Amino acid sequence: MGNTKLTIPQEFDTASKDQRIAYVQQLWDRIAIPIPEHHKRTLTECMEAYRKTLKATIVG
């Protein structure tokens, strides 16, 4: 990786928060690796189980 310093566009500091977030999201989209579909399904299943447990804990 090293100590490579990137130049941030000058208008970044005067942009709105939403514009800055959109800019960072675009950068992230360029470096992010795709998540395999089977990982997404596993995550969905885990979240559903978590929500059921949470709901049972709160209600019961």
Summarize pLDDT for 2-60 with one digit per residue, the tens: 778 889 889 999 999 999 999 999 999 999 999 999 999 999 999 999 999 998 888 75
What's the Cα-to-Cα distance from 46 to each of 28, 38, 40, 53, rounded to whole Å? 25, 12, 10, 11
What pTM does this model have?
Answer: 0.50
End-to-end CA gap in the chain: 51
Q: What 3-state class would DSSP assign to 36?
A: coil
Based on its alpha-carbon atoms, the radius of gyration of the chain, rounded to whole angstroms, reads: 20
Task: Give CA–CA dist 22/16, Å, rounded.
Answer: 10
pLDDT number for residue 59? 72
